[in-house]
Amino acid sequence: MKWWEKICAQCGSCCHEKVRLSKNRYVYYENIKCPHLRDDGSCDVYHERFCVSPGCKKMTLLRAMTATWLPPDCAYVEWAKRHHIRFAPECEWIVSLDEELD
């Protein structure tokens, strides 16, 4: 589904660590990211990412529609909003510059 993958802006935001604080609040760790994330936002194991990195999640239509853990500026979230099919509540993202999880 190349058209679907092309929606991704390769910002890399979803490859950073995040912790859910409550139903609609997350801490997003700017300095803690997947070791496979390159500086340009691409993935160095893209074609085998789900085997190599067990925490890596496939982007699906359902997730674009409902996942609260996607960054608010994710291109899939914006795409779903444009198509009026984004049903997840707006979440507050608190950006942390810590080098470790609290």
Contacts to ligand SF4 from residues 14-43, by CB under 6 A: 14-15, 34, 36-37, 43
Q: 4 — phi, psi (to 5°)?
A: -70, -45
Rule CB under 6 A: say whether 49 interacts with ligand SF4.
yes
The type of residue at 58 is K
Rule CB under 6 A: say whether 75 interacts with ligand SF4.
yes
CB of 28 to ligand SF4, least distance (A): 11
Residue 98 in tokens: 């810590």
Contact 58, 64 (CB under 8 A): no
Stretch touching ligand SF4 by CB under 6 A, among 19-27, 51-59, 83-91, 93-101? 51-59
State how far the Cα of 30 lies from the Cα of 47, in Å rounded to an integer: 25
Q: 22 — phi, psi (to 5°)?
A: -160, -170
Rule CB under 6 A: say whether 10 interacts with ligand SF4.
yes
Residues that bind ligand SF4 (CB under 6 A): 8-15, 34, 36-37, 43, 45, 49, 53, 56, 59, 71, 74-76
